[in-house]
């Protein structure tokens, strides 16, 4: 969506293609160089930053919509994506918005009952990506983006600070129940790499010996007979996720602590 015409058409006719009253907000966690960040977009006409999101097509399965929205933004498919909450309580989510606002901001005339300004619930999804591999697309509505450290999130649009907080909480809960990392690490990775990933997500230190013991005991990863060369240091062994056990654990859940 890049030309002014497309945008006007989306505003005027979007309700024919998309469901009104429901949107998807994605908290895209990016991991790279031992930092956990989230993707924020500059929505034009608003001061401040907001989350990526979108609408669901009229006949599109919900999960497909979530993947599509993510893919349009990041060009990635096949990543860890999980629904975590529906937001519909904050004043921003219970009231209508003003079309007058839109007129001012985008210079377009809309009717009072335009679909975009009616009350909209938001379904929160979180995703995990390696942000160095992502090619972020902007469009007419969003002319800038940045990766923001999870510990330094600025004031966001609407109730989105609450969305981010909840996403982080659910991610940290999820990591105790599901294996995480498949989409954030190269296919073959070292213990220090996955160790540091988990530490970053949980925001706390994990004993290195105990950590690798645990992952191996759970059967989630297996040691390979190869090493990675990392410059002037001892070469770490490479590991791989044990696909069968990983899938099993994703489905059945794990009960443990790290």
Q: Which does 92 bind (CB under 5 to 8 A by kind): its own copies, DNA, none?
A: none
How far is it, in rounded angstroms, from Cα 134 to Cα 187? 17
CA distances from 133 to 107, 119, 138, 184, 185 (A): 36, 35, 16, 10, 11
Near DNA in 149-208, by CB under 7 A: 190-192, 207-208
Q: Which does 253 bind (CB under 5 to 8 A by kind): its own copies, DNA, none?
A: its own copies
- Asked if residues 156 and 41 have their Cβ atoms less than 8 Å apart, the reply is no
| Contact between 54 and DNA per CB under 7 A | no
How far is it, in rounded angstroms, from Cα 95 to Cα 117? 9
Q: Stretches 80-88, 115-123, 130-138, 231-239: which one binds DNA (CB under 7 A)? A: 231-239
| Contact between 139 and its own copies per CB under 8 A | no
How far is it, in rounded angstroms, from Cα 54 to Cα 22? 9
How far is it, in rounded angstroms, from Cα 172 to Cα 190? 22
| Contact between 21 and DNA per CB under 7 A | no
| Contact between 20 and its own copies per CB under 8 A | yes
CB of 138 to its own copies, least distance (A): 27
Among 29, 80, 87, 189, contact with its own copies (rule: CB under 8 A)? 87
- Asked if residues 194 and 181 have their Cβ atoms less than 8 Å apart, the reply is yes
CB of 251 to DNA, least distance (A): 20
Q: What number of chain residues touch DNA (CB under 7 A)?
A: 24
CA distances from 254 to 62, 206, 218 (A): 26, 18, 9
In total, the chain counts a number of residues equal to: 258
Site residues (CB under 8 A) for its own copies?
Answer: 19-22, 56, 58-65, 83, 85-89, 93-95, 119, 121, 123, 173, 176-177, 253, 255, 257
Site residues (CB under 7 A) for DNA?
Answer: 190-192, 207-210, 212-214, 217, 227, 229-237, 256-258
């Amino acid at each position: 969506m890049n030309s002014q015409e497309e945008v006007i058409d989306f505003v005027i006719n979007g309700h024919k293609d998309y469901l009104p009253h429901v949107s998807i907000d994605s908290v895209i966690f990016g991991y790279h160089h031992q930092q956990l960040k989230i993707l924020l977009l500059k929505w034009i006409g608003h001061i401040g930053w907001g989350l990526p999101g979108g609408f669901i097509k009229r006949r599109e399965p919900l999960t497909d919509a979530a993947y599509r929205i993510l893919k349009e933004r990041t060009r990635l498919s096949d990543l860890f994506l999980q629904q975590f909450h529906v937001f519909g309580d904050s004043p921003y989510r219970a009231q209508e918005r003003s079309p007058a606002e839109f007129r001012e901001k985008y210079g377009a005339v809309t009717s009072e009952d335009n679909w975009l300004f009616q009350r909209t619930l938001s379904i929160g999804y979180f995703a995990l990506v390696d942000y160095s591999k992502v090619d972020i697309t902007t469009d007419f509505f969003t002319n800038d983006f940045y990766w923001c450290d999870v510990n330094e999130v600025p004031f966001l649009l609407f109730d989105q600070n609450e969305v981010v907080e909840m996403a982080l909480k659910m991610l940290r809960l999820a990591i105790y129940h599901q294996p995480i990392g498949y989409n954030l690490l190269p296919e073959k990775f070292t213990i220090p790499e996955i160790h540091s990933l988990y530490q970053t997500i949980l925001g706390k230190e994990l004993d290195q010996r105990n950590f690798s013991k645990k992952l191996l005991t759970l059967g989630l990863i297996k040691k390979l007979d190869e090493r990675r060369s990392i410059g002037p240091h001892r070469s770490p062994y490479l590991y791989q996720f044990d696909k069968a056990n990983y899938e099993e654990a994703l489905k059945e859940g794990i009960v443990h602590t790290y």
